[in-house]
Amino acid sequence: MKEFNEKILSKGVHHIALKVKNFDNTIKFYTEGLGFKKYLCWEQNGNRVSFLSAGGNSFIQIFEDDSKEDISNATYTHMAFYTKNCEEAIKAAKNAGAKVKGPIEIKIPSNPDIIMRTAYCKGPDGESIEFFEENTIV
């Protein structure tokens, strides 16, 4: 797989942004529960904002939303994080209080075949999180 997208000059996904009602619970879930690291924190329009590092050059951006508006119908379906070990990732999610579905294993016939293991959980604001492990069979 290419490390660089020449069409848009991209090295990959930089961040996914979430608007959450309980900022402190969300930060705690991702940092203490899943091992993300705080990278940047600031205030914007009276609400807190934070970048959390998922590892490498991937981040999630957390926006505090203190409005009364229902934000449960986000416009994304899920965010996926590469993991070296799906079982360890879901163990961390369970220990952080998440309900986990999976892991499941999917074999994609190609040359060489690819085995993907995935598991899903819900974050504290209902966001869908996938842990993605890929192994190429030679």
Tens-digit pLDDT profile for residues 124-134: 888 888 888 87
Tens-digit pLDDT profile for residues 82-107: 888 888 888 999 999 999 998 888 88
User: Which amino acid is present at 21?
Assistant: K
Mean pLDDT of 52-57: 90
Q: Which of 70-74, 111-115, 117-121, 126-130 has the weakest average pLDDT?
A: 70-74
* Residue with more model confidence, 12 or 27: 27
* Residue 5 DSSP symbol: B
Percent of the chain beyond pLDDT 70?
Answer: 84
Q: Domains (ranges, CATH) in the chain?
A: 15-136 (3.10.180.10)
CA angle at 51 for the pair 102 and 94, rounded to the nearest 5°: 25
Please provide the average confidence, as pLDDT, over all residues in the chain: 83
Mean pLDDT of 60-77: 72
Residue 32: predicted pLDDT: 96
Is residue 33 within 8 Å of residue 27, measured between CB atoms? no
Peptide bond into 124 cis (omega under 30): no
User: Where do runs of H (alpha helix) occur along the chain?
Assistant: 23-28, 86-95
